[in-house]
Every structure is written in structure tokens, then in C-alpha cells.
Structure 1
Amino acid sequence: MKTQGFNMKNTHIKDLERLAKLLAVLTIGFVFTVKFGVIKNLVKPIKIKNHNRRLFSIFSYGLTFLRKILMQSKFIEIFDFFLRSIMSNNPLNSKLEQLCIRY
């Protein structure tokens, strides 16, 4: 939530109600980002270093993937497809796997 993700610390909001709303929106974004990272990791696993730690976190993996999707000209179609896949019982279908591998 701080520096390498949503930069929440850069806000100068002092009104508690607005801060609560911002935190709620960031929490929803965090959950989706982690979910994207988990699904992407199922399709294309994060490499494990020699000391048995991941090369980067699930959150970073999901955030990078989400940024790449949002930069596409057809991002609404891609995002809609991805959200439908997440909401289904089996999010890993062949189209989603191709999308994850491409990005």
C-alpha cells in the first residue's frame, strides 16, 4: 500500500471519511491485484531463487500484469474477460492461459 504499489503514503487527506473511502478502494484494488498475481502464477510460475525465495512477490506479479492489461487499447474487453474468469469456479481456461503467457 505504500511505495511499490498504490503510494497511499503520498495522500494528504485529513478528513477521516475520505480517508476511509480511499482505504476501501485501495483494499479492493489490493485484493484484485493479488488475485491476478495468483492466477498468473498458476499459469506461469514465478522463478524460485537459490535460497528458496521467489524472484518477486505475488502482489508485484499481479500489479505488473494488471498494468500491462490496462495499457492495451482493448483493455476493457481484456479486463472484462479476466474478471469473468476470476468469478467462475475454474479461472484457468485456455484463453486465460494464453493471455497470462502473452503478458
Structure 2
Amino acid sequence: MALVLFGEVIDGARAAEIGLAWKCVPDAELLGVAHAMAAKAAAGPAEVVRSMKATILGMDAVTNSEDAVSAELGPQLASLGGAAFVELLAQLRAQIAAKS
């Protein structure tokens, strides 16, 4: 809101710092990083990727937090009970254990 209200211009590093961007990378690395991120997302369980995409696309009409929670809750609960989530959670736990 303040960016619009006060006309502040920010760079990529600042956008990442305040949570408006996932990360900031040098211009020369941008396309490679974007492709790597897209490949990682696409490699996820198809049903989870489809559900997330549908949820994201349906959020354009959401104007308040109550509607956002309503729109996201069902798909999130469904994914928590799925085999794909259980497998991804096991992989994450293994990665964390390997770092300990």
C-alpha cells in the first residue's frame, strides 16, 4: 500500500527483503533461475500442482482474508491427506535429518 500511496520505487533486492518477491538474482541468471524453479514446481505430484494452480487462478476475485481462507482450506486439507503429501513430507524429513 505504501509503495502505491507514496510512489516509492524499489529494486529487486528490496522487493525480496520485504516479501514482495521470492528472491532477487542477477539479471544474467534470471532466466536460468526461473526455468529451474518452474521445473521444480512441475516435477511435483501432478494432482497437487493442478490443485495449487486452480486455487491460485481462483484467487483473483478474493478481496478479504475470510474468503481467502475459505478458498484455500479445502484444497490444503485434501492435499494433507494425500499420498503425495506424505511422500514429500518424508523426503523433507530425510533432508533435515541428513543436515543434522
Higher RCO (CA < 8 A, seq sep 6+): 1
- Higher normalized helix content (fraction of residues): 2
